[in-house]
Amino acid sequence: MITTLARIIKYGRQNFTRNAWLSTATIAIMALALTVFGGLLIFNVITKTIISSIENKIDISVYFKNTTGEDDILRIKSTLSSLPEVQNVDYVSKDQALEIFKQKHQSDQTISQAISQLSDNPLLASLNIKARDPKEYPVISAYLNNDSIQPFIENVSYSQNADVIDRLNRILSTAQKGGWGLTIFMSLIAILITFNTIRLAIYSNRESINIMRLVGGSNFFIRGPFLIEGVLYGVISAIISLLLMAPIIYFVSPYANAVIPELYLWSYFASSFVLLLFYQILFGIGLGLVSSFIAIGKYLKD
C-alpha cells in the first residue's frame, strides 16, 4: 500500500511539472479565486468590527421636560437601573449639559459668545442608558413609553440610532453577499480551468492509462496521480494567494485603523496567519480535488 501511494504521488508530481505553462495558468486563476475568498474572510472581520464599534458608541439618551424635577429624574434613573437589560444609567443635569456643550465648542467664538449672552440655560437634563446587549435597546425603548414615565419625557434618541444600525447592517450584508457571489464565480472559473488542465494531462498520458487499465490497474491507482495534481494546484495557489494579500493588508491597515480605531487589520492578519492559511489550503484542495475528480471520472466513464 505504501509503495502504491508513493507511486501515485510520484506520477502526480510528474504530471504537475510536465505541463508547466498550463500548471502556471491554472495556479494563477485558482490563486485569484482564493484571494477573493481570503478577502471575504478579512471582510467578515472588518464587518464585525465596524458593527461592534458603532454598537458600543450607541446608547439611549432620554431628555426630560424643563418642568420635570430632579427627584423625578433620579426616581426614573433608579427604576431603569433595576432592569436586567440595562448595564448602567448616567444622569446629566442641565448645568452639566451646558458645561459639556461649552467644552465641545470652546474653539468656536461665535457659539461661545452666544452662550455667554444667554440669560437661561436652554439645555435639558438627560439620562444616558447603556444596554448589556445592543439587541436589548428595543426593550428599553418600549419600557420608556409606559404611562408612568412618558409624561416627563421630551425626547428619546434611540429611533435615529436604530435606523443607522439597521441601514449599516443592510449595506454590509449586501456587500458580503456580493463577495460570496464573486467567490463562487471565481471558483467556477478555477474549477473549469483546472478541469481542462487535468483533461489535457489525461490526454497526454492516455496510452499509459490504457495500458494500466489493460493490466488490471484499479481506478484508484489511475485516478490517484491526477487527484495529487489537483491537490498540488490547491496548496500552491493557497500559499500564493496569502503572499498576494499580505502586502495589500499591510499597506491598507494604517488607513483602516485611522477610520476605525478598533480595527487592527495587520495584527489580525499576522496573528491569524496559520488559521487563514489552513482555510485557504482547505478551500484550494477542495477546488483541485473537485476539478480532478470530475475530469478523471468523465474519462473513466468514456
Residue 197: phi and psi, rounded to 5, are -65, -45
The CATH 3.30.70.3040 portion of the chain extends over 59-157
- The residue with cell 465596524 is 50
Is the entire prediction scored with pTM above 0.75?
Answer: no
Q: Nearest-CA neighbor of 35 among 246, 266, 210, 264?
A: 246
Q: Is 86 helix (H, G, I), strand (E, B) or coil?
A: strand
User: Residue 219: what pLDDT?
Assistant: 64
User: Residue 204: what pLDDT?
Assistant: 64
Residue 20 to residue 7: CA distance in whole angstroms: 21
Would you list the DSSP string of 10-37?
HHHHHHHHHTHHHHHHHHHHHHHHHHHH
Question: Taking a C-beta distance cutoff of 8 angstroms, is the pair 288, 231 a contact?
Answer: yes
H-state helical runs in the chain: 2-18, 20-57, 70-81, 94-104, 109-116, 137-143, 158-204, 206-214, 219-259, 265-271, 273-301
User: Which three cell numbers mark 53?
Assistant: 464599534
Q: Nearest-CA neighbor of 56 among 97, 92, 87, 91?
A: 87
Mean pLDDT, consecutive 10-residue segments, the chain of 302 residues?
70 71 79 82 79 74 87 89 88 84 74 69 84 79 84 78 68 74 76 72 65 64 76 87 90 84 84 88 84 72 60
Compute and round to an integer the Cα radius of gyration of the chain: 31
Burial profile 46-56: b = 16 or more Cβ within 10 angstroms, e = fewer: bbebbeeebbe
- The residue with cell 509503495 is 3
Q: Nearest-CA neighbor of 163 among 17, 56, 54, 251?
A: 54
User: Which three cell numbers mark 187?
Assistant: 471558483
For CA atoms 111, 116, 118, 124, the dihedral sign is positive
User: Residue 247: what pLDDT?
Assistant: 92
Question: Taking a C-beta distance cutoff of 8 angstroms, is the pair 20, 130 a contact?
Answer: no
User: Which three cell numbers mark 136?
Assistant: 436589548
Centroid of chain to Cα 64: 40
Question: Taking a C-beta distance cutoff of 8 angstroms, is the pair 148, 5 a contact?
Answer: no
Would you list the DSSP string of 47-85?
HHHHHHHHHHH--EEEEEPTT--HHHHHHHHHHHHTSTT
Burial profile 193-212: b = 16 or more Cβ within 10 angstroms, e = fewer: bbbebbbebbeebeeebeee
**Fold observed for domain 59-157:** Alpha-Beta Plaits (3.30.70)
Encoded amino acid at 299, one letter: Y
Residue 132 to residue 85: CA distance in whole angstroms: 6
